[in-house]
Amino acid sequence: MKNSKAELIVDVAQRLFAKYGFKKTTIDEIAHSAHIAKGSIYYYFGSKEDIFRAVLDKENRLWSQKVREVINRASTPQEKLRAYLVTRTKYLSKLTNFYSALREEYLEHYAFIENIRKRYFREEIEIVKAILEEGVKKGIFKVEELGLMAFVIVAALKGLEYPWTMEIPMPDIEKSIDFLLKMSFNGLLKK
Amino acid sequence: MKNSKAELIVDVAQRLFAKYGFKKTTIDEIAHSAHIAKGSIYYYFGSKEDIFRAVLDKENRLWSQKVREVINRASTPQEKLRAYLVTRTKYLSKLTNFYSALREEYLEHYAFIENIRKRYFREEIEIVKAILEEGVKKGIFKVEELGLMAFVIVAALKGLEYPWTMEIPMPDIEKSIDFLLKMSFNGLLKK
DNA sequence: TTTTGACCAATTTGGTTATTTGGTCAATTC
DNA sequence: GAATTGACCAAATAACCAAATTGGTCAAAA
């Protein structure tokens, strides 16, 4: 038995949320699509928000796994940082629900979505922090305040996401990242 | 006579827009607050959007002036860049309408606000580009692609704005900027 | 232990009417 | 004639309300 009922619900909900968004997807639809009664859903989940959280968690686990995998495969801290930046950005747009929930759907700003957003923001900072830490330990990076540095990097990344929301013609994302990295490593100043 | 009627309208509208936002402020209110008839407003402005644009322009001129002033006062390109980053960020939050229009009010996403947003985004990029250009000419900076570099810097700045919208406890903004700058100048790598 | 569907309170929807809004303009004032 | 006015209008919005839908419950059944 590879799929428990709870997983089935999450899978179905994932598809529907992706298509219609959180608000427009109804529990009845989910139940119907999953060929179970509505009551069954509430046997496994406490609320609609709970289901959504489960979907987001699933997508985030996938993203997190992929990102960590790519980071581990890279050998130097520089490569790790680059691998992280490129992968996280490319992969993020594939996580339909995660992405739209944290960007578009926040028009409605549900409190629970805000919380999820914060949690993942912190998670990203932790990932970057770990990379920087390794770099410092290996004597490759020179960073005084790890936490702040990680914060600034992640915040800057968010900034790179922003323009394409605004439909400003944006230079190719990967090029921008490579550029940001090159500058980060070597600095602006002429040697 | 130091205030033309058009200026009076803009001043009154500025106050009201700041308090109630674009949508909730009515032409009747503006007319009433300015002690003139509604028709008079349309003698000077073509539409409500026009008035709003005028308010935004006024605030932007102020901001722009302040920023350029501070930049000119600084002597080295490094100082100019720092002066720009700090001033632009600190000052931006004072421009009530400008700020809220380009952040909160975009929930409604009026096309004309999107356009203004884009224009100011480009304006910021130009300012940064000019600073970088000077730095390169003086042989202080080493930047290959000026446009892209300026874009990345401004985008990163937007990223630093983002967290306090999300109410994530954010490290002090000035500290972050100094940090970002130090890193930008010297790079992450150990020498 | 799981599953069900009738059931309920609360919210959302669709349709209608009343009010307000942005914008016009002929008449009036300066 | 440039500037100002307020009554006026079509269109948008708010207010209202009944009907439908929604998230969530629960006693009964499997």
CA dihedral sign, ordered B14, B18, B19, B23: positive
* A135/B contact by beta carbon, under 8 A: yes
User: Can you give the pLDDT at residue A79?
Assistant: 93
Strand D nucleotides, any atom under 7 Å from protein beta carbons: they are 3-8, 21-27
Minimum mean pLDDT range among A22-26, B17-21, B169-173: B169-173
* A111/B contact by beta carbon, under 8 A: no
- Cα–Cα distance between B183 and B157 in angstroms, integer? 14
Mean pLDDT, residues B94-110 taken together: 62
Q: Average pLDDT over chain A, rounded to whole?
A: 84
Mean pLDDT, residues B136-141 taken together: 94
Residue in A118, A183, A184, A186 to test binding to B, most B beta-carbons within 10 Å = A183
User: Can you give the pLDDT at residue B10?
Assistant: 95
Which of A141, A142, A166 is facing B117, going by the closest CB pair? A166
User: Can you give the pLDDT at residue A1?
Assistant: 44
Is the CB of B179 less than 8 angstroms away from the CB of A114? no
29-68 on B, CB < 7 Å from strand C? 38-39, 42, 46-49
User: Can you give the pLDDT at residue A96?
Assistant: 63
Which residue has better confidence, A74 or A182?
A: A74
User: Can you give the pLDDT at residue A157?
Assistant: 83
Q: What share of chain A has pLDDT > 70, as a percent? A: 85
8 A C-beta contact, residue A158 and residue A102: no
* B142/A contact by beta carbon, under 8 A: yes
Mean pLDDT, residues B37-62 taken together: 92
* Res. B156: pLDDT tops 70: yes
Neighbours of A72 (CB within 10 A): 10
Residue B102: closest C-alpha in chain A: A166
* B151/A contact by beta carbon, under 8 A: yes
Q: Average pLDDT over chain B, rounded to whole?
A: 84
Residue in B183, B184, B186, B191 to test binding to A, most A beta-carbons within 10 Å = B183
User: Can you give the pLDDT at residue B51?
Assistant: 94
Chain A residues whose CB is inside 8 A of the B139 CB are: 190
List of domains in chain A:
1-46 (1.10.10.60), 52-186 (1.10.357.10)
Minimum mean pLDDT range among A110-124, A134-148, B130-144: A110-124
**Model pLDDT for residues A126-168, shown as the tens digit of each residue:** 999 999 999 999 999 988 889 888 988 888 888 887 665 555 6
8 A C-beta contact, residue B66 and residue B87: yes
Is the CB of A151 less than 8 angstroms away from the CB of B159? no
Mean pLDDT, residues B21-47 taken together: 92
Indicate the Cα dihedral angle B1, B7, B8, B9, nearest 10°: 150
Minimum mean pLDDT range among A62-76, A145-159, B93-107: B93-107
User: Can you give the pLDDT at residue A167?
Assistant: 56
How does residue B183 score in pLDDT terms, banded at 50, 70 and 90? Answer: confident
User: Can you give the pLDDT at residue B139?
Assistant: 94
User: Can you give the pLDDT at residue B1?
Assistant: 41
Mean pLDDT, residues A43-64 taken together: 91
Which residue has better confidence, A155 or A98?
A: A155
Chain A residues whose CB is inside 8 A of the B169 CB are: none
* B35/A contact by beta carbon, under 8 A: no
* Res. A8: pLDDT tops 60: yes
Residue at the smallest CA–C1' distance to nucleotide C2? A40
* Res. B114: pLDDT tops 80: no
Q: Distance, in angstroms, between A176 CA and closest chain B CA?
A: 7
Q: Distance, in angstroms, between A41 CA and closest chain B CA?
A: 32
8 A C-beta contact, residue B140 and residue B76: yes
Mean pLDDT, residues A99-103 taken together: 60
The values of phi and psi at residue A141, to 5°, are: -100, 155
Cβ-proximal residues to A171 (8 Å cutoff; 6+ apart), any chain: B148, B151
DSSP character at residue B23: H
Is the CB of A142 less than 8 angstroms away from the CB of B189? yes
Minimum mean pLDDT range among A52-61, B26-35, B94-103: B94-103
Q: Looking at chain A, which runs of residues are DSSP E strands?
A: none
Which residue has better confidence, B168 or B106?
A: B168
